Chain A
Amino acid sequence: MRKEIRFRLNGAAVSVQVAPHETLVEVLQEAFGLYGARESCGQGLCGCCTVLVNGTAVSGCLYLGALAENAEIQTIEGGAAGNSGLDAVQEAFVESGAFQCGFCTPGFILMTRQLLDETPEPSEDEIRHYLSGNLCRCAAYPQIIEAVQLAARKRRQR
């Protein structure tokens, strides 16, 4: 039933045995001890399980682990450079107080990185629409908008 697949995980070559029904979130948690992508709604509606596959955000709770074969997988744990170990987006989230319980935060940060890669200076409306697939029950949405704008400024200054 299980099959060995190889892929790159946060820049490192890895291999793992996966069962056909296992999701990418399960593979990351069970095989690699990475818990930053986490299942919440189980339907791909909340964004807590966001993982970047070949640079594109997917819902890790629906994406089958086996499909990661030969892909470049990035999770929130894939650290960034800098003294704090945080990138501009993470720093901006901290400085703007853009989270409360933190459960949805990795998903928002990964989506924000993708947004700023595509649109370095997003308008508030663009931010709202781009991040509308991520839910935050603590509703730190206004602070998240602030953080995205701050992150955009930080990136431009680097």
Chain B
Amino acid sequence: MKRAAQPAETAQVGRSVPRLESWLKVTGRAEYVHNLRLPGMLYGKIFRSTVSHGRIKRLDVSAAQAVAGVYRVVTSKEVRELVPEPYYGPAFHDQPILALDKVRHVGEPVAVVLASDPHVAEEAAALIVAEYEPLAAVYDEVEAMTSNAIVHDELKPAGTFPDLKHLKGKANTNIALDFHLRRGDAAGALKGAHRVFEHRFRTQQVMHTPLEPLVSVAECTDRTLTIHTASQSPSFVRIEIARLLGWPENRIRVRVPFLGGGFGAKLYIKLEALVSVLSLLTKKPVKISLSMEEQFFTITKHATTFRIRSGVDRDGKILARECEVWWNGGAYADIGPRVTQKSGFTAPGPYDIEHVAVDSYALYTNLPPAGALRGFGIPQLVWAYESHTDMMARELGADPVEFRRRNLLREGRPQATGTVMRDAAIEKVLDRTADLLDWKKPFDRGTGSVRRGRGIAIGFKACVSPTTSLAAVSINADGSCIVYCSTVDMGQGSDTAMAQIAAEVLKVATESIRVVHSDTDVTPYDMATLGSRSLFHMGNAVRLAAEDAVKKLDQLRSETQLPADASVKDVFRKRYGMQAGNVLGTASFVPGYTAPDANGLTDNATPFWMVGASGVEVEVDTETGRVRVTRLINVADAGTPINPRIVETQLSGASIMQLGFTLSEKMEFDAEGQLRNASLAEYKIPGFLDLPGEIVNEAVVAEQRSGPFGAKGVGETSTFGVSPAIANAIQDAVGVRLTSLPLSAEAIYMAMQKK
């Protein structure tokens, strides 16, 4: 039976199809919002707070307004005329479109200058004068628990997501969410343990650094608003802008072309509310394109402190583990409360521990806001629990791999929340990593000032739940097919993967499928492109929609009484009297989920588990403290890859990104909350000269039975193990243990001096 113009009898999933948009990207013609210019468009340049916490005493925009070529200067006063309650956010409605009365972090937007020439707008913005009455500020996440400096007078939970509905408004606190998990009796078991180990770890604040900085454009008519935006969550943008304006959703259109990187930076509302208001106020198209510097003030990754305590018996079996994690969310909650809760599910690590206690706190501080960054909090946790696990093994005189194996969480066993592990190849991933690292073979430990070491670490993640994806698949009268979905291709290759999934069902060549980019007027609802959820959720929705389209075409064929092998063209000719019409398959996919109970326990925490391990070999220069990663091995359970080549690129790319967060990247703040290195000259992301000598990436043979054709998400998996594996290898090489990231040459050198 032939269903389309380009029949394909061979499997479409499992093929390393080059990305469908390849030609566009290598010729510089791919569409990004960065490129968009509309007739009559104004450019907005943001005037930002210079203090970390203060009451706005005076705001003088007259000099800016007087600059030739300035169209208008907008402050929160004008914003409020249009939106009386101009606060947004996915978890809390805490973030003002422009600062109202107070500023809560350095770099917070206070006013905007609009001009048709961006240089004029920038020059004028520099002429705005603001005076602040300073307020007590807090920067450290642990201090924020008890500080007298309160970032928000009153908390305003949003309740947009079902799993955040339990958030209650609180006053006189910086705690935006506290998640607690109790399984068994950790305190009691620790008392009876043979040995108890307690350590404290820290991660630093870092930034996503997409090379296409955040950018949004809005244009309006009397009753419609179109937002062109570099966003990973177009459906959320529509819902939230509709709520702010009090409009029905059908008057707001959100369009997203390709993204020049996302990594979690381009989620929820970033510039969209601001450009929408500016366009409505001026009745002109308005574009705001951030500079690289401004991105550092917009969204970052949580700094964390993690106190972890474990008790073992005489056989080296971990009996109990207590985890206390403090998440530095900055001045606005963004998705921090969700990071706090969801990562809390797995804070004790991929180990079979009978007694666990987790306390995880999302905290407001006077730093730039933090959100999700490639791992939704998991890399911060793995950093701590895999450093801790390694330290325990060494103290106990056990082989680090064997110690992990003895305690590993295996298929069919419940993890911390009580959810039973299914389709999580934890043991296989650990074993394969050890094999690829030649763990059991003799190892050259170096000589003189160059000492060598190796380390291993494994982490896992529960995919965020519950979330919804809808998709539609059209079979046209000529047999060609179109996929409509709101998954955003930010470089992860989703267009290609969705086309492969649809092609597999439709029995056509992947290359013949067209995937329509997110446009809320056209593509159906999707929760967002985040947390490695899209391939699983949207992949399932696309598969089901394609099956629905096939079913509808088969119905049409039987209605026309044509034989089963009649071509698509013939079916439509017979039905409509000409080659016209189409069938539209639709589907939604929402996996099951059980919300955690009062003890944080649930029998269904996630639709699937991601498992990733890294093994490294390092050289440490004992005279300078400089560490060089000579081999980096990443092994993942990615289920059955849809596109092995893209999976490999994702594993490789994520691990190199994590290498930056491990060795060099750190946002440096002074005592007043001023950021001192907001540029790529002073904030070093990995380049060619920072690469490991050798990188090996592998997806173990595995299947996610509930995933589309056995697949699951993989965008974050190889971020998990990199940092602790390197710290473990450094200890192996030179005997010093670092407990704070980044593992800079200076930190290593200083630790060696103290030894």
Residues of A within 8 A of B (CB): 21, 29-30, 34-38, 40-43, 45-46, 48, 75-77, 79, 84-86, 90, 93-95, 97, 99-106, 109, 127-129, 131-143
Q: In the bound complex, do residue A100 and residue B491 qualify as a contact, i.e. CB atoms below 8 Å apart? A: yes
Determine if B575 is an interface residue (Cβ-Cβ < 8 Å). Answer: no
| 20 A-B contact pairs sorted by A residue (CB < 8 Å) | A36-B28, A38-B260, A40-B212, A40-B292, A43-B292, A48-B211, A95-B18, A97-B646, A99-B19, A101-B259, A101-B260, A102-B30, A102-B260, A105-B26, A132-B689, A135-B680, A137-B209, A138-B491, A140-B649, A143-B649
Give, as a whole number of angstroms, the nearest-CB distance from B682 to chain A.
10
Determine if B191 is an interface residue (Cβ-Cβ < 8 Å). Answer: no
Determine if B679 is an interface residue (Cβ-Cβ < 8 Å). Answer: yes
With a cutoff of 8 Å between Cβ atoms, the chain B residues found around residue A142 in the complex are 652, 691, 695
Q: Among B26, B213, B687, point to the contact of A109 (Cβ < 8 A).
A: B26
User: With A and B bound together, what is the CA distance between A35 and B490 in angstroms?
Assistant: 18
B30, B293, B490 pick with most chain A CB within 10 angstroms: B30
User: With A and B bound together, what is the CA distance between A133 and B688 in angstroms?
Assistant: 8
Known: A41-B292, A100-B650, A128-B691. 17 other contacts (CB 8 A): A21-B119, A35-B32, A38-B32, A38-B34, A40-B292, A43-B292, A100-B653, A101-B211, A101-B212, A101-B490, A105-B26, A105-B28, A129-B689, A132-B688, A137-B263, A141-B687, A141-B688
Q: In the bound complex, do residue B646 and residue A139 qualify as a contact, i.e. CB atoms below 8 Å apart? A: no
Give, as a whole number of angstroms, the nearest-CB distance from B501 to chain A.
19
With a cutoff of 8 Å between Cβ atoms, the chain B residues found around residue A141 in the complex are 656, 686-688, 691
For the complex of A and B, the 6 pairs showing the least CB-CB separation, nearest first, are A36-B28, A101-B491, A103-B260, A102-B25, A100-B491, A139-B656
Kindly supply a per-residue 1/0 record for chain B positions 4-41, scoring 1 wherever the CB is within 8 Å of any chain A CB and 0 otherwise: 00000000000010110111111111101011010000
With a cutoff of 8 Å between Cβ atoms, the chain B residues found around residue A133 in the complex are 687
Give, as a whole number of angstroms, the nearest-CB distance from A157 to chain B.
19
User: With A and B bound together, what is the CA distance between A30 and B656 in angstroms?
Assistant: 35
Q: In the bound complex, do residue A128 and residue B213 qualify as a contact, i.e. CB atoms below 8 Å apart? A: no
User: With A and B bound together, what is the CA distance between A61 and B645 in angstroms?
Assistant: 33
Q: In the bound complex, do residue A35 and residue B689 qualify as a contact, i.e. CB atoms below 8 Å apart? A: no
Q: In the bound complex, do residue A97 and residue B645 qualify as a contact, i.e. CB atoms below 8 Å apart? A: yes
Q: Among A34, A40, A131, A137, point to the contact of B688 (Cβ < 8 A).
A: A131
Number of A-B contacts (CB under 8 A): 163
With a cutoff of 8 Å between Cβ atoms, the chain A residues found around residue B641 in the complex are none
Q: In the bound complex, do residue A37 and residue B211 qualify as a contact, i.e. CB atoms below 8 Å apart? A: no
Q: In the bound complex, do residue A132 and residue B687 qualify as a contact, i.e. CB atoms below 8 Å apart? A: yes
User: With A and B bound together, what is the CA distance between A127 and B689 in angstroms?
Assistant: 10
Q: In the bound complex, do residue B28 and residue A76 qualify as a contact, i.e. CB atoms below 8 Å apart? A: yes
Q: Among A76, A84, A129, A137, point to the contact of B685 (Cβ < 8 A).
A: A137
Q: In the bound complex, do residue B685 and residue A135 qualify as a contact, i.e. CB atoms below 8 Å apart? A: yes
Determine if B210 is an interface residue (Cβ-Cβ < 8 Å). Answer: yes
Q: In the bound complex, do residue B210 and residue A137 qualify as a contact, i.e. CB atoms below 8 Å apart? A: yes
Q: Among A48, A77, A99, A135, point to the contact of B25 (Cβ < 8 A).
A: A99
With a cutoff of 8 Å between Cβ atoms, the chain A residues found around residue B657 in the complex are 137-139
Least CB separation from A38: chain B residue: B34
Give, as a whole number of angstroms, the nearest-CB distance from B14 to chain A.
16
Give, as a whole number of angstroms, the nearest-CB distance from A26 to chain B.
9
With a cutoff of 8 Å between Cβ atoms, the chain B residues found around residue A79 in the complex are 27
User: With A and B bound together, what is the CA distance between A35 and B19 in angstroms?
Assistant: 21
Q: In the bound complex, do residue B649 and residue A75 qualify as a contact, i.e. CB atoms below 8 Å apart? A: no
With a cutoff of 8 Å between Cβ atoms, the chain B residues found around residue A127 in the complex are 688
Least CB separation from B213: chain A residue: A40
User: With A and B bound together, what is the CA distance between A103 and B30 in angstroms?
Assistant: 9
With a cutoff of 8 Å between Cβ atoms, the chain A residues found around residue B221 in the complex are none
User: With A and B bound together, what is the CA distance between A129 and B493 in angstroms?
Assistant: 28
User: With A and B bound together, what is the CA distance between A100 and B258 in angstroms?
Assistant: 11
With a cutoff of 8 Å between Cβ atoms, the chain B residues found around residue A131 in the complex are 688
Determine if B640 is an interface residue (Cβ-Cβ < 8 Å). Answer: no
> With A76-B27, A94-B26, A99-B25 known to touch, is A104 a contact of B653 (CB < 8 Å)?
no
List residues 464-487 of chain B with CB under 8 A from any CB of chain A: none
Determine if B291 is an interface residue (Cβ-Cβ < 8 Å). Answer: yes
With a cutoff of 8 Å between Cβ atoms, the chain A residues found around residue B686 in the complex are 139, 141
User: With A and B bound together, what is the CA distance between A136 and B35 in angstroms?
Assistant: 19
Least CB separation from A93: chain B residue: B26
With a cutoff of 8 Å between Cβ atoms, the chain B residues found around residue A36 in the complex are 27-29
With a cutoff of 8 Å between Cβ atoms, the chain B residues found around residue A76 in the complex are 26-28
Q: Among B37, B211, B650, B681, point to the contact of A137 (Cβ < 8 A).
A: B211
Give, as a whole number of angstroms, the nearest-CB distance from B632 to chain A.
10
User: With A and B bound together, what is the CA distance between A19 and B650 in angstroms?
Assistant: 43
Q: In the bound complex, do residue B688 and residue A100 qualify as a contact, i.e. CB atoms below 8 Å apart? A: no
Q: In the bound complex, do residue B210 and residue A84 qualify as a contact, i.e. CB atoms below 8 Å apart? A: no
With a cutoff of 8 Å between Cβ atoms, the chain A residues found around residue B212 in the complex are 38, 40, 101, 103
Q: In the bound complex, do residue B21 and residue A86 qualify as a contact, i.e. CB atoms below 8 Å apart? A: no
Give, as a whole number of angstroms, the nearest-CB distance from A72 to chain B.
18
User: With A and B bound together, what is the CA distance between A14 and B293 in angstroms?
Assistant: 34
User: With A and B bound together, what is the CA distance between A99 and B16 in angstroms?
Assistant: 14
User: With A and B bound together, what is the CA distance between A34 and B657 in angstroms?
Assistant: 30
Q: In the bound complex, do residue A97 and residue B649 qualify as a contact, i.e. CB atoms below 8 Å apart? A: yes
With a cutoff of 8 Å between Cβ atoms, the chain A residues found around residue B292 in the complex are 40-43
Give, as a whole number of angstroms, the nearest-CB distance from B160 to chain A.
27
> With A103-B260, A140-B653 known to touch, is A94 a contact of B18 (CB < 8 Å)?
yes
With a cutoff of 8 Å between Cβ atoms, the chain A residues found around residue B35 in the complex are 29, 35, 38
Determine if B534 is an interface residue (Cβ-Cβ < 8 Å). Answer: no
Give, as a whole number of angstroms, the nearest-CB distance from B266 to chain A.
11
With a cutoff of 8 Å between Cβ atoms, the chain A residues found around residue B27 in the complex are 36, 76-77, 79, 85-86, 90, 106
Determine if B261 is an interface residue (Cβ-Cβ < 8 Å). Answer: yes
User: With A and B bound together, what is the CA distance between A85 and B652 in angstroms?
Assistant: 29
Determine if B492 is an interface residue (Cβ-Cβ < 8 Å). Answer: yes
User: With A and B bound together, what is the CA distance between A21 and B122 in angstroms?
Assistant: 13
Q: In the bound complex, do residue A128 and residue B688 qualify as a contact, i.e. CB atoms below 8 Å apart? A: yes
A76, A100, A104, A129 pick with most chain B CB within 10 angstroms: A100
> With A40-B212, A128-B688 known to touch, is A97 a contact of B28 (CB < 8 Å)?
no
Give, as a whole number of angstroms, the nearest-CB distance from A142 to chain B.
6
Q: In the bound complex, do residue A143 and residue B652 qualify as a contact, i.e. CB atoms below 8 Å apart? A: yes
With a cutoff of 8 Å between Cβ atoms, the chain A residues found around residue B490 in the complex are 101
User: With A and B bound together, what is the CA distance between A79 and B27 in angstroms?
Assistant: 8
Least CB separation from A97: chain B residue: B645
